[in-house]
């Protein structure tokens, strides 16, 4: 079984690819920290409340339509 931060990173990477979003923008929008994804990639273990917050952001995210 993968560690939680690796599972979360896989979910985030899929989200980034699907939306064409940079990791720094994701971190800024989801957590108010543009380095959030990079910190996870270095092996930081997020709290369950953080995981819940990130997953809620990805679930509820609606990109703005360009005119």
Asked if 29 and 56 count as a contact pair (C-beta separation under 8 A), the reply is: no
In a domain, 47, yes or no: yes
The pLDDT score that the predictor gives to residue 8 is: 96
In a domain, 36, yes or no: yes
For each successive 10 residues of the chain (67 residues), what is the average pLDDT?
Answer: 90 97 97 96 93 97 81
Q: Give the separation between CA 67 and CA 36, rounded to whole angstroms.
A: 30
The pLDDT score that the predictor gives to residue 4 is: 87
- Give the SS3 label for residue 59: helix
Of 61, 66, 31, the closest CA to residue 40 belongs to 31
The number of folded domains in the chain is: 1
In a domain, 67, yes or no: no
In a domain, 49, yes or no: yes
In a domain, 15, yes or no: yes
The pLDDT score that the predictor gives to residue 67 is: 64
Q: Give the separation between CA 16 and CA 39, rounded to whole angstroms.
A: 16
The pLDDT score that the predictor gives to residue 61 is: 96
């Amino acid at each position: 079984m993968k560690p939680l931060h690796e599972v979360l990173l896989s979910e985030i990477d899929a989200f980034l690819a699907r939306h064409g979003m940079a990791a720094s923008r994701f971190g800024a929008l989801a957590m108010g920290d543009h380095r959030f994804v990079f910190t996870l990639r270095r092996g930081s273990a997020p709290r369950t409340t953080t995981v819940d917050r990130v997953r809620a952001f990805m679930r509820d995210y609606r990109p703005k339509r360009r005119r």
